[in-house]
Structure 1
């Protein structure tokens, strides 16, 4: 039954504003389109209104109706304040309280004000140090020696600090990705000049991979799979352009430092046990970067170990990497839903830190570097470079799709009920 109080234009206006605000904040905090739509539909039903919403890559357009009255509103731009799993959890909590009748529209607005004004859970210096450690872990997962891992740690600290500074200054995201990749890659390459016979590629690639927009890429795949084509393609296009900007920045940094970034990795394999432990530590850094609540960080670490670590174990057993990525992403998705139900947090809280290390950032970056080399060489490009660049680009797309498909499959399995 439609709530009588919402039949009046002022109350309908309040409901439309609240629903639109929640949807915008959810998308800006890292929710995929399906999650935002479900929350909007839940709120509308609880408030006694009908809601039609259109989500584009830039704004939301909402129409709510109660009886003969209706309101249509356009949201502010979907810029957001960055990926924050703690903010997602608090937003879901506000919606839940509104739905069960614990709070009214006015109190919900006040709680949303508090959510928007709340600072990140972790101090900046801790996040910078944790992401630096994650960068070092990624370099090790690429098979780097320990001096290169140490240089990657320094590059990761510089990368995260500069990225946060540019974000506060409102810099263009693509320009910020280029500048950050250039500065951190140059620092890592120069630091390794003091180490004889050190190969800078794993360090530079790890410094760039920490910038790869794994969350938008994963959400893009999820959105496309869920039928939200327009916003999904926009997210994938934005992620692809960001990767190209990162690759260009690293390419210029290596050229300025006098190092050639080979398209082939040449990295050795990391022992499976070490891979599992390092993957868990990398997930810890991502958990802090994504502002995951402390009570849930241990679950993020477990998801990271089950993701990249298990994929390495499967590879050692002869399973090719795309299949291993699909299997492990599905497992991480299932664990994420279990942890989410147990901790009363969105499943993405655990899924993102668990699978981001499996996003083929090194493949994508090396494909971007290869593309730049092809552009420079033109018709004189050797066939091996053309073939390897295409192979890397295809592998990056297939593995990114495997990660997204695994998470979508895990979500679908949650709704399967056994036949009695």
Structure 2
């Protein structure tokens, strides 16, 4: 196999690999390091420019006499820390064991095709986590119960809308509205001693923590463009959450939290 063909095949794989990392919630520096590690295992070097929706990559040999460039869109995938970890481990496996490209593709496909956690289990665990947040913010047991129910319904609505490919900003507005509307019953019917805590924490499961953290890390490590775009996207989602919560307050005539 001549060097041009090798560069082309490896570049296509690395382009898919890096966009998958971006999609599941990896910060930019880690994407560059893991992708470069695989390229070095084949004796090549990679230069990357990471944007919010695309990754531009150039794969070249040591003497910079042969190169191949690709532009690939970021995949539409949910955040997944297991895939994140396994794809990162794959880069070390490629570097330490000098895997062939066919072996890499096989392992990569296996990682991406592994079944996700049962969505009903995820729904229950998210509800438990948000109820715990309520308790952390000094909510009483009745507030925790309401937050648990509100999160169950709100996150279920989010799952259903995402499966039907609704715009993700609309999904955040509607999910926040649904959860906060259920939690608002604690204020309307004077349930428990901390109804404000129940209402305020009912939408915390929607907070885009990973984009916020990754955006800050990207900016600190020099990936200013990618970091800024991530922070802007996270800020828009937070505004959507605020809109959903505000609709509940307006609908029920609640003036203050």
Assess if the C-alpha contact under 8 Å between 2:142 and 2:191 holds in 1: no
Structure 1 stretches of 4+ with a deviation exceeding 3 A read 191-200
| Residues 285-342 of structure 1 deviation map (CA, whole Å, 9 limit, x = unaligned) | xxxxxxxxxxxxxxxxxxxxxxxxxxxxxxxxxxxxxxxxxxxxxxxxxxxxxxxxxx
Any gaps of 5 or more consecutive residues in structure 1? 263-420
Which residue, 79, 94, 116 being the options, matches 1:83? Answer: 79
Q: How far apart, CA to CA, are the structure 2 residues paired with 1:188 and 1:158?
A: 11
What is the aligned counterpart of 1:43 among 38, 42, 45?
A: 38
| Structure 1 residues 396-415: aligned runs within 5 Å | none
Instruction: Identify the residue that residue 149 of structure 2 maps to in structure 1.
Output: 154
**Residue in 2 aligned with 1:113?**
109
Residue aligning to 2:69? 72
The 5-angstrom pairing of residues 157-168 of structure 1 reads 157-168=152-163
1:210-359 alignment, distance < 5 Å: 210-262=205-257
Matched, 1:202 2:202: no
SS, match of residue 184 in structure 2: helix
- Whole-angstrom distance in 2 between the partners of 1:103 and 1:231: 31
Of the three residues 9, 12, 32, the one matched with 2:7 is 12
TM-score relative to the length of structure 1: 0.58
Check conservation: 1:182, 1:249, Cα contact below 8 A. yes
Q: Tell me whether 1:183 sits opposite 2:178 in the alignment.
A: yes
- Post-superposition offset of 1:118: 1.6
2:126 to 127, 131, 150: 131
Indicate if the aligned counterparts of 1:49 and 1:64 stay in contact, CA closer than 8 A. yes
Contact in 2 for aligned 1:208/1:247 (Cα 8 Å): no
On the 8 A contact 1:98/1:105 being kept in 2, the answer is no
Deviation at 1:71, TM superposition (A): 1.0
Over 3 Å counting, the alpha-carbon distance change for 1:159 and 1:24 in structure 2 is same
C-alpha displacement at 1:79, in angstroms? 4.2
Q: Distance in 1 between matches of 2:190 and 2:135?
A: 17
DSSP 3-state at the match of 2:69: strand
Q: 1:109 to 1:197 in 2, by over 3 A?
A: closer
Alignment RMSD (CA, Å): 1.8
SS of the aligned residue for 2:238 comes to: helix
Contact 1:54/1:60, CA 8 A, preserved across alignment: yes
SS at match of 2:249: helix
Matched, 1:53 2:48: yes
Deviation at 1:223, TM superposition (A): 0.6
Q: Structure 1 196/165 Cα, relative in aligned 2: closer, same or farther at 3 Å?
A: closer
TM-score (norm 2): 0.92
How far 1:235 sits from its partner (Å)?
0.8
Q: Secondary structure at the match of 1:210?
A: helix
Deviation, 1:216, is 0.4
Deviation at 1:102, TM superposition (A): 5.0
Distance 1:244 1:141 in 2: 24
How many residue pairs align between the two structures? 255
Residue 140 (str. 1) matches residue 135 (str. 2): yes
Residues 142 and 192 in structure 2, CA contact (< 8 A), matched pair in contact too? no
C-alpha deviation, 1:196, in angstroms: 4.6
Structure-2 change in CA distance of 1:73 and 1:196 (3 Å) = closer
Q: Distance in 1 between matches of 2:35 and 2:87?
A: 12
